[in-house]
Amino acid sequence: MPNVPVLGPVTWAENESRMYELLWMLLPVAAAGGWLAGRRYAMTTGPDRFWNDATTYHRDLHSLLSETAADSAPDDTLALGSPVSVEQDAAETHIALGNMFRRRGDLDSAIRIHASLTRKNQLGEDVRSEAQLELARDYDSAGLLDRSEAQFRALLKANRQVDASYEHLLQISERASDWQRAIQTADEFQNSTGRNLGSRIAHYYCEIAESLIAAETTNGLNADKAAGGTEDAERWLENALKRDPACARASIRLAELAVGEKNFSEAIDLYERVEQQRPELMPEIISPLFESLEQLGDETRLRAYIDRIKGRLNAYSVIKTTRNMIERMDGENAADEFFKDQIVKRPSLKGLRDWARGQLEKSRPNERGKVSVMCDMLDQVVKDKPGYVCSECGFRGQTRHWRCPGCNRWDTVHTVIGAEGE
């Protein structure tokens, strides 16, 4: 934990002198960009001239320092006779500098700068609330969660930075796995802004169910406690579906619990519900779905399901698993016919690789080496392809995550569909 400064009165002049040191350090960066060249005189003619004459300089510097600098060029229209005061403009630059200190890990300086801005009454409410939001982020980065939450709450009370404050409060609860609190905050967020957070809240319910199931595993030897844990978990999962009827995660978990209880008919219903909720999750549920159909011992239902698969285009894992089931029921020829028909309709690298492997034994001895090399090459290509990708941040991986490890958003990691994936 960093050395937290005592937030006594920090004078504007003290901050200004620190800013000068930093601005001098940054000068070469700006000069290299070219656009600062015409304004360098401001730095050599004393502080008064610098602060009073360099309105656009501040704005440009703000763009340079802010995290979004790469995404947006300085807005020239703002520089032409904008009524924004120099004082306010300088404050925005201070906010950006504080943010830069935070990114560099100098949280003491970040807190000092942002805190001093929040106390500067002559600044407009907008810029002060912006500084307060950054101050709350500084405290969060410093691990001072109580102070951070107090700042976010104060902003909410003043009806300022509402979305950002709620979002941060939710992230704090999520990081602490305090799901009950997250539900409370999300409900509050939803009620005060009219936003629909149903799917996120449903995930919080699922997280609570997961922790109950994990605790039940620990209590495995105590049958009474274990049964109680499962029932509680089921209740949370059912409530998740009430908050978000499209919550496939809750359906999958309920199906798994039903399989554990040998309630196969219910498990099949739940897996079929996942098919409606999130068809791209089919590769993950097709094996347990077939197992449940087999365990139920209802061949008519099993064949009806296979017919349904035959009548549509499928992800490759679905094709492969169904092929194996058909082989066991009706023999290799029927299975091969289904397989060929499906991979022609929906080609994929994985399908091609497995088809080539199947041809290995059937190929003539003098061609077998070539087919084998082709199989190895396809293996390599398939192996390097990610199975999942985040639609928000581009995170790629081989494991399905309900919350993206890259950007921490929920339900943004999707199965890769198409020739290179499923």
Residue 228 or 397 having the CB closest to Zn ion: 397
Q: 127 or 390: whose CB is closer to Zn ion? A: 390
The residue behind tokens 């510097």 is: 61
With respect to Zn ion, which residue has the nearer C-beta, 95 or 413? 413
We find the least distance from the C-beta atom of residue 199 to Zn ion, in angstroms, to be 15
Q: How far apart are CA 113 and CA 103, in angstroms?
A: 14
Nearer to Zn ion, 260 or 394 (CB): 394
CB of 138 to Zn ion, least distance (A): 24
Provide, rounded to whole angstroms, the least separation between the CB of residue 235 and Zn ion.
31
Nearer to Zn ion, 254 or 404 (CB): 404
Smaller CB distance to Zn ion: residue 371 or 407? 407
- Nearer Cβ to Zn ion, position 94 or 203? 203
At its nearest, how many Å lie between Zn ion and the CB of residue 382? 23
Q: CA distances (Å), 363 to each of 150, 332, 366, 367, 368, in order?
A: 72, 18, 8, 6, 6
Nearest distance in Å: CB 244, Zn ion: 20
- Which spans of this chain sit near Zn ion (rule: CB under 5 A)? 390, 392-393, 395, 404, 406-407
What's the token pair of residue 242?
């009430």
CB 206 within 8 A of CB 239: no
**Shortest gap between Cβ of 387 and Zn ion (angstroms)?**
15
Q: Is the CB of 387 or the CB of 406 nearer to Zn ion?
A: 406
CB of 71 to Zn ion, least distance (A): 18
In whole angstroms, how close is the CB of 393 to Zn ion at the nearest point?
3
